[in-house]
Amino acid sequence: MINKTTVNIYIVLFTIFAAASCTKLDLKPTDVIDPSKAFRNVSDVNMGLIGVYALVDYDQISLNSTVSDEAMYPTENTVGNSDAFRWLYTPSSGSVTSFYYTGYTAIDRVNRTLEGLEKLTISNADAPLANQYKGELLALRAYFHFELLRAYASAYESGAMGVPYMKASAIGYPARDNFEVVIADAKADLSAAKDLIPASFNDKTRITRAAVAALQARIALYEKKWSEAVTYANEVIDAQPLASKSQFPGIWTDANDNEVIWKAKRVGTTGSRVGGFYYREQGGIVLYAPAFKLIHLFDTTNDVRAKAYITYDPSRTGLKSKYRVSKYIGGTASAPGLTDIKLFRTGEVYLIKAEAQAEGSNWADGAATLNALRAQRIRNYTNAAFAGKEALITAIMEERFKELAFEGHRFYDLRRRGLSVQRLPEDAVNASGAVTLAPTAAQYAFPVPATEVLINKATKQNPGY
């Protein structure tokens, strides 16, 4: 569990990062704790690890909802991020570049904590816990690098510019590693992590072996390693089955955590809450509403996802949106939307498996996997038949649109497939003409922050900016 005291302690330990990121001069700061003295025992390592978890947030959810076709920008929103929604972002736009700094801050915390751990003399009694913490740290390093890659890679293919894979905390000017290099380094970290994390460790607010396997499956999907994706997906599915139809709505109010593999815990009355501050604001303003393009896909009578994800309120008239995102509507009256952020679910893993099977040697297996997921989501479902591989792939992409709505995937899914972001006219009424974002547009990939390119001459900007 993350609390203010823990986070504040960690901030003291690692404010050195802010100083290190601004200058090449190798000066020892006098107003922070020396990292070499910060980690005295395994308990201190855990404090450092918690500080990394503190930076796991809803950045990817907000990025995808803002720039893709899954949400619309209602007229009642006078405070939201209209430039990003209208694809007017530049390397100076914090709305799409801030995650670059958050990601690397987290990675620096990982590397400093790993360095501190390596310098400790670990007793036999503490060795199992020390190994677990090291495994979690390596997995988190892979996770943040891959999320940065999804956001800032110039393309998802070998030879494309990726992001620097940082394996140590150091002052320097790293160049961008290619897409395939980042993938390989992340896979190596995850392989090592899985050997270190005990099979018995099952805290879903932290990275378990099942979470490592889920991330391995997600990476294999982007790498187009279809057999690997199926293997890792099966590992997750065996460990964490799908929620039943009756259980599924409770996932989003924290009534249960069925099929949740890893979640970012949210507690208290304040704090980072995607449901309270992104899709709704105090005062009843809907900042981002579900797109009609998404709404039209659901069978509102039989699909349990429809009401779990989207609320229709006819009492909201005039310029107010009658629809709002209810996927994170839990919390309390004083803290609406303060629900745990679901980072990996078995539903996503089923869709990874289905797509990998469809792209592999036997697309009929992919159809069976897709039908199995639908049967758990839709009442009175009858298995669908598909004319061939391409029809199945289209169906899987549509199912990902529905199943993973507002979970941080839609924009990246379109990029994986080289598809345009295409909004319906009714979803673009407040978009100033931002209806189609083609793969040839600069904004089809997020820009690297302008400050990073200015200071680090080894960093090249994405094309078109």
Instruction: Kindly list the distances between the CA atom of residue 14 and the CA atoms of 36, 51, 452, 456, in Å, as whole numbers in the listed order.
Output: 12, 9, 20, 22
Q: Which residues neighbour 317 within 8 Å (Cβ) at sequence distance 6 or greater?
A: none
- Report pLDDT for 2: 35
- Report pLDDT for 282: 66
CA 162 remoteness from chain centre: 17
- What DSSP character marks residue 421? E
Q: Which numeric CATH code is attached to 42-262+341-455?
A: 1.25.40.390
Q: Which residues neighbour 255 within 8 Å (Cβ) at sequence distance 6 or greater?
A: 249, 330
By three-state DSSP, how is residue 284 classified?
Answer: coil
CA atoms of 338 and 274, how far apart (whole Å): 7
Exposure on the CB side of residue 410, measured as CA atoms within 13 A:
28
Burial 29-48 (b: 16+ CB within 10 A, else e): eeebeebeebbeebebbbbb
- Report pLDDT for 120: 93
What mean pLDDT comes out for the span 66-94? 91
Tell me: the pLDDT tens digits for 434-445? 999 999 999 999
What mean pLDDT comes out for the span 402-422? 97
- What DSSP character marks residue 311? E
What mean pLDDT comes out for the span 312-330? 89
Examine the pLDDT at 268 and tell me if it is beyond 90. Answer: no
Q: Which of 116-125, 160-169, 327-336 has the lowest mean pLDDT?
A: 327-336
What does the CA dihedral 335, 339, 340, 346 come to, rounded to 10 degrees? -170
- Report pLDDT for 267: 73
Rounded to 5 degrees, what are φ and ψ at 433? Answer: 90, 0
- Report pLDDT for 5: 32
CA atoms of 230 and 222, how far apart (whole Å): 13
Q: Which of 65-79, 98-112, 372-386 has the lowest mean pLDDT?
A: 65-79
CA 434 remoteness from chain centre: 25
Tell me: the pLDDT tens digits for 6-63? 334 343 344 333 333 433 434 354 444 565 678 899 999 999 999 999 999 989 999 9
Examine the pLDDT at 309 and tell me if it is beyond 90. Answer: yes
- What DSSP character marks residue 332? -
Kindly state the percentage of the chain with pLDDT values over 90.
78
Block residue for tokens 């960690």: 10
Q: What is the pTM of this model?
A: 0.91
Examine the pLDDT at 374 and tell me if it is beyond 80. Answer: yes
Give 338's pLDDT tier (boundaries 50, 70, 90): confident
CA 172 remoteness from chain centre: 27
* Domain extents in the chain: 42-262+341-455
Instruction: Kindly list the distances between the CA atom of residue 448 and the CA atoms of 58, 106, 349, 415, 453, in Å, as whole numbers in the listed order.
Output: 19, 17, 30, 17, 7
Helix axes 389-403, 363-377, angle to 10 degrees: 30
The two tokens of residue 195 are: 């050997």
- What DSSP character marks residue 447? P
Handedness of CA 263, 264, 270, 272 (dihedral sign): negative
Block residue for tokens 């070499």: 36
What mean pLDDT comes out for the span 391-419? 97
Examine the pLDDT at 4 and tell me if it is beyond 60. Answer: no
Helical ranges in 304-362 per DSSP H:
304-309, 346-359
The two tokens of residue 428 are: 């673009």
Handedness of CA 347, 251, 401, 406 (dihedral sign): negative
Tell me: the pLDDT tens digits for 145-178? 999 999 999 999 999 999 999 999 988 899 999 9
- Mean confidence (pLDDT) of the chain: 90
Kindly state the percentage of the chain with pLDDT values over 70.
88
The two tokens of residue 463 are: 């094309």
Give 266's pLDDT tier (boundaries 50, 70, 90): confident
Highest-confidence segment of 235-239, 270-274, 278-282: 235-239
Examine the pLDDT at 281 and tell me if it is beyond 90. Answer: no
- Per the DSSP assignment, residues forming a β-bridge with 412 are none
Read off the amino acid at residue 373: L
